[in-house]
Amino acid sequence: MSDIITLTINGTVQEVTLDDPRVTLLDLLRERLHLTGTKKGCDRGQCGACTILVDGRRINSCLALALSHDGAEITTIEGLSQGDALHPVQAAFIAHDGMQCGYCTPGQIMSAVGLIAEGQAGTDPERIREGMSGNLCRCAAYAGITRAVLAASE
Ligand code: FES
């Protein structure tokens, strides 16, 4: 038996048929909808590479069942820019070298967008590091990431 859910993804309403109730939002986005900007790192809620916004809140999409999110509004990294115009957080990551290999960057950026929207970023680097602590960077580009979030939150 399959289930049909409706999601608003990056502003577009989509009906999705789920053949398996165990499919996660991460796998749905990447494998069914080909939105591969959201990355799979650990697939167990430890790295933050899969961070997306659901109804404006940051979540690890690898831990979220798609079936539980019928009616949700989802924003992925693909939904941030407006045409050629980067989102201010994307621009800040470039301006402040908030990346090295880039694999974790979509998750870092989505997490930063959520953190700023929550009003939790502030102007204190320590608070930003705490707020971004769910997003790991194996290249350890944390200094640039913190600078970028700081700049974007001003
Ligand atoms: Fe989801 Fe690592 S892939 S937290």
ipTM exceeding cut-off 0.85 for this assembly: yes
How far does the centroid of ligand 1 lie from the alpha carbon of residue 46, in Å? 5
pLDDT along the chain (154 residues), means of 10: 94 96 98 98 98 97 98 98 96 97 98 94 90 97 97 92
Specify whether the backbone of 45 is left (phi greater than 0), alpha (psi in -120 to 50) or beta.
left
Domains of the chain: 3-79 (3.10.20.30), 88-153 (1.10.150.120)
How far does the centroid of ligand 1 lie from the alpha carbon of residue 93, in Å? 21
Report whether residue 45 contacts ligand 1, using a CB cutoff of 6 Å: yes
pTM over 0.90: yes
CA–CA separation, 69 vs 52, rounded Å? 13
pLDDT tens per residue across span 39-77: 999 999 999 999 999 999 999 999 999 999 999 999 999
